[in-house]
């Protein structure tokens, strides 16, 4: 189970990316963050932002329309 | 091949230039693609009384006031965009009825924001896409406009940061 | 009756709508993503648009000799002036400001155009950023099913009506 969960369903760019950024900044290194989105471009956005900052995407689970990304802070 | 914005932007640029060169979308310069202006032309053509071209009442008869291009038929770019996007969403199964969650993107707020964006766009003389087209056309007001749009977006980002 | 513009623009719109939905193209989003998280993904779309439009203008200038409109300083402004005069509009491109933005708010003073550009540009950037995207992106999102964006479109149309009823005479009166 993830340490921190962030639910950004029904929100479009920029909000998922912004909130993911802020949440990652507040976490300690090694903790995991689970981001729940339901907007396909947001999934790509968050993944790209996270890998460009050096964090690691552990898993991407797609349940119908909702996508959960599991991210580990570097 | 995944469609990235870089490729799509390039295609839009060529289409905008082609609209001016080949398709007679011409009396306003750099008019090939514009969301706000073509929407204004469509509304004018339907309502037929909103934009009297000043000084124009040739021989007593009221010439259909539209944007100077859409005298007899309006520019149907907006219709095309909506249909094309619906087709793309249906084909790729990304169509879903949704309402935004944050308060400043709720329907009532979006209504006022839509009005303000259109009024600002017509004051400036174009929408962001046409501003970029005018910048490619080497117009001075377009460069100033691009800088001011960047400043405006920066101010909006500060407000967004305060609000979340 | 020139039927070419409407038929051509509906196809232009179809292509733009399809590509815009696939590629999530947004001009304001480019600047906004760069300001918030230093992401240049959408900004590359803006740059490629400007570069390709410039290339398109130059190349089409040679391909279609009937319409010589670019660059403006090689007598492009005169073409527009003639077409406008044929319709009775009195917006004449001058040497310093060759490309009038819109014949409605046109005035011979260059400073007027610059003031309008500053005010309009700032308002455009700020309100579009708050609304979540440039008008093109809002159209695509309305086609994707977002009810907020559909209400945005309604406001957009009303804004056009309001502008021409109230704001345009005001601007002409102030800047004349």
Helix ranges (H only) for C38-146 are 43-63, 76-87, 110-131, 135-144
pLDDT of amino acid C145: 79
Mark yes or no for CB contact B16/C56 under 8 Å. Answer: yes
The ipTM assigned to this model is 0.81
The pLDDT-based confidence of B64 (bands split at 50, 70, 90) is very low
Interface residue of C39, C44, C145 to substitute, partner A, most A CBs within 10 Å = C39
Q: Which residues contact A7 (CB under 8 A, 6 or more apart)?
A: A36
Query: In angstroms, rounded to a whole number, what is the distance separating the alpha carbons of residues B146 and B3?
Result: 25
pLDDT of amino acid C36: 79
Question: Nearest by CB to A14, which of C24, C33, C141?
Answer: C33
pLDDT of amino acid B103: 62
pLDDT of amino acid B58: 42
How many CB atoms neighbour CB C77 within 10 A? 21
How many CB atoms neighbour CB A54 within 10 A? 8
Question: Nearest by CB to B94, which of A14, A15, A40?
Answer: A40
Mark yes or no for CB contact B160/A19 under 8 Å. Answer: no
B positions 69-98 inside 8 Å of A (CB): 94, 96, 98
**Closest Cα partner for B100 from C131, A47, C80?**
C131
Q: Does the pLDDT value for residue C83 go beyond 70?
A: no
Which residues of A are catalytic, by number?
A: 13
pLDDT tens digits, one per residue of A26-50: 777 777 777 777 777 777 777 777 7
**Closest Cα partner for A4 from A74, A70, A54?**
A70
Q: How far is CA C149 from the centre of its chain?
A: 20
Mark yes or no for CB contact B114/C134 under 8 Å. Answer: no
C positions 47-106 inside 8 Å of B (CB): 47-57, 59-61, 63-64, 67, 69-72, 76, 80, 83-84, 87-90, 97-105
Side-chain half-sphere exposure of C145, counting CA atoms within 13 A: 12
Q: What share of chain C has pLDDT > 90, as a percent? A: 0
Query: In angstroms, rounded to a whole number, what is the distance separating the alpha carbons of residues A62 and A45?
Result: 16
The answer to whether B123 and C167 have CB atoms below 8 angstroms apart is yes
pLDDT tens digits, one per residue of C41-56: 788 888 888 888 888 8
Sign of the alpha-carbon dihedral angle for C123, C125, C128, C134: positive
Burial class (CB in 10 A: 0-12, 13-18, 19+), B47: middle
The answer to whether C106 and C175 have CB atoms below 8 angstroms apart is no
Chains that touch A (3 or more CB pairs under 8 A): B, C
Pairing label, strands A56-63, A32-37: unpaired
Q: How far apart are the first and last CA of chain B?
A: 36
pLDDT of amino acid A27: 77
pLDDT of amino acid C109: 65
**Closest Cα partner for C135 from B8, B93, B38?**
B38
Question: Nearest by CB to B101, which of A10, A14, A40?
Answer: A10
pLDDT tens digits, one per residue of B115-160: 888 888 888 877 888 888 888 877 777 888 888 988 998 998 888 8
pLDDT of amino acid C107: 59
Q: What is the pTM of this model?
A: 0.81
Interface residue of B3, B6, B83, B87 to substitute, partner C, most C CBs within 10 Å = B6
3-class secondary-structure state, position A56: strand
- Residues of chain A in contact with residue B161, where contact means CB-CB under 8 angstroms, are 18
Sheet holding A4-7, edge to edge: A4-7, A32-37, A66-72, A56-63
pLDDT tens digits, one per residue of B69-80: 555 567 788 888
Q: Does the pLDDT value for residue B88 go beyond 60?
A: yes
- Residues of chain C in contact with residue A52, where contact means CB-CB under 8 angstroms, are 39
Interface residue of C33, C40, C130, C136 to substitute, partner A, most A CBs within 10 Å = C33
Sign of the alpha-carbon dihedral angle for C116, C121, C123, C128: positive
Mean pLDDT, all residues of chain C? 74
Q: Residue A71's beta-bridge partner residues?
A: A33, A57
Question: Nearest by CB to C32, which of A14, A45, A52?
Answer: A14
The pLDDT-based confidence of B66 (bands split at 50, 70, 90) is very low
3-class secondary-structure state, position B9: helix
The answer to whether B10 and C48 have CB atoms below 8 angstroms apart is yes
Q: Residue A68's beta-bridge partner residues?
A: A36, A61
Pairing label, strands A4-7, A56-63: unpaired
């Amino acid at each position: 189970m993830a340490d921190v969960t962030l639910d950004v369903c029904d929100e479009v760019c920029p909000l998922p990316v912004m909130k993911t950024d802020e949440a990652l900044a507040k976490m300690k290194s090694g903790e995991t963050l689970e981001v729940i989105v339901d907007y396909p471009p947001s999934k790509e956005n968050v993944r790209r932002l996270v890998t460009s900052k050096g964090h690691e995407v552990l898993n991407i689970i797609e349940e119908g329309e909702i996508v959960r990304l599991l991210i580990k802070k570097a | 091949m995944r469609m990235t914005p870089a490729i799509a932007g390039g295609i839009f640029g060529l289409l905008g230039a082609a609209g001016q060169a080949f398709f007679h979308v011409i009396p306003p310069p750099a008019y090939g693609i514009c969301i706000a202006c073509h929407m204004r032309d469509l509304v004018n053509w339907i309502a037929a009384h909103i934009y009297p071209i000043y000084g124009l009442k040739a021989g007593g008869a009221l010439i259909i006031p539209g944007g100077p291009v859409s005298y007899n038929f309006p520019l149907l770019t907006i219709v095309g965009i909506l249909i094309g996007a619906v087709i793309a969403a249906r084909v790729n199964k990304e169509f879903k009825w949704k309402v935004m969650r944050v308060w400043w993107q709720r329907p009532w707020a979006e209504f006022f924001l839509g009005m303000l964006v259109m009024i600002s766009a017509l004051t400036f003389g174009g929408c962001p896409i046409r501003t970029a087209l005018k910048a490619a056309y080497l117009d001075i007001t377009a460069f100033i406009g691009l800088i001011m749009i960047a400043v405006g977006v920066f101010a909006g980002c500060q407000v967004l940061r305060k609000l979340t | 009756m020139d039927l070419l513009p409407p038929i051509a623009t509906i196809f232009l719109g179809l292509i733009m709508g399809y590509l815009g939905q696939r590629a999530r193209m947004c001009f304001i989003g480019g600047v906004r993503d760069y300001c918030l998280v230093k992401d240049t993904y959408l900004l590359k779309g803006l740059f490629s648009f400007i570069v390709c439009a410039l290339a398109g203008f130059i190349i089409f200038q040679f391909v279609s000799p009937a319409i010589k409109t670019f660059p403006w300083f090689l007598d492009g402004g005169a073409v527009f002036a003639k077409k406008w005069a044929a319709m009775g509009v009195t917006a004449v491109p001058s040497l310093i400001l060759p490309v009038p933005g819109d014949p409605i708010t046109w005035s011979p003073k260059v400073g007027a155009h610059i003031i309008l550009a500053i005010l309009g540009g700032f308002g455009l950037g700020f309100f579009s950023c708050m609304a979540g995207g440039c008008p093109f992106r809002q159209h695509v999102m309305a086609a994707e099913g977002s009810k907020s964006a559909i209400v945005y479109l309604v406001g957009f149309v009303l804004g056009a009506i309001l502008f021409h009823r109230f704001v345009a005479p005001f601007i002409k009166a102030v800047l004349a």
